[in-house]
Structure 1
Amino acid sequence: MDITAISLVLFGSTFGLIFRMFIQNNLKINIGFNIQNTSIVNFIASFFLGILLALNLTNNNLLLLFYIGFLGCFSTFSSFIYQLFVLLQKRKFMHLFFHYFEVIIISFICFYLGYYLMQIIK
């Protein structure tokens, strides 16, 4: 990797981290049940991923900046796995089951919405 590629990944990851921390510390959504902030971040990241895939980017610098840098630091897959592990340890199997499907299904819907919106706009 050259210095340009490293700089793009660092720049994208810095903004991804700042955006994630902002959402995790400031955003609360309650739609009949409480959605954890980590889940919200994953939903937004999935939406952005759908948009980026629909744009069919071929510029390697943009891929490094957005896919690897921004989305790599913005999304919180490891936090999602940790939350599942904690629920498993506490033997809260129903919460684990619903949280797993909540994140997977809603993330996929958000991804598809981003992708579909870009298909309409193109």
Structure 2
Amino acid sequence: MDKFAFIHILAGSTFGLILRLFIKYNFKINQGTYYNNTLIVNVLSSLFLGICVALSPTNNNFLLLFSVGFLGCLSTFSSFIYQLFNLIQKRKYLNLIFYYIEVFVLSFLFFSLGYFIILILKN
């Protein structure tokens, strides 16, 4: 990896982290599942990734900046896994199953939504 690729990933991840922390500390929603902030950022990341895939940019620097850096840091896979682990430790197996399904289904639906919106707008 060259130094410019590294700089693009670093810049994108910085903004992804800032947005994730902004959502974490400013959108404390206590409806639905216990872990709504993680769900919000994962769904937003999936939507943006669907849009990025549909646009199919050929600029490698943009892909590194946006999809690898920004979206990679915005999404919270490690937080998701940690929250699943906490639910196992608390023996809340039903909550674990619902949370797992909720995150994956909504993330997939929003990825598809972003992808198909761009395809529709292109035509």
Q: Judge same fold: TM > 0.5, yes or no.
A: yes
1:11 corresponds to which residue?
11
SS in structure 1 opposite 2:95?
helix
1:95 corresponds to which residue?
95
Q: Which runs of 5+ in 2 are unaligned?
A: none
1:82 corresponds to which residue?
82
The total of aligned residue pairs comes to 121
Q: Which runs of 5+ in 1 are unaligned?
A: none
Deviation at 1:2, TM superposition (A): 1.6
2:21 corresponds to which residue?
21
2:48 corresponds to which residue?
48
Structure 1 runs, 4 residues or longer, greater than 6 Å off: none
1:59 corresponds to which residue?
59
TM-score by length of 1: 0.93
TM-score by length of 2: 0.93
Q: Give the residue type in structure 2 aligned to 1:33.
A: G
Deviation at 1:33, TM superposition (A): 2.1
2:32 corresponds to which residue?
33
Q: In angstroms, what is the RMSD of aligned CA positions? A: 1.3
2 CA distance for matches of 1:67 and 1:20? 15
SS in structure 2 opposite 1:83?
helix
Identity over the aligned pairs, expressed in percent? Answer: 60
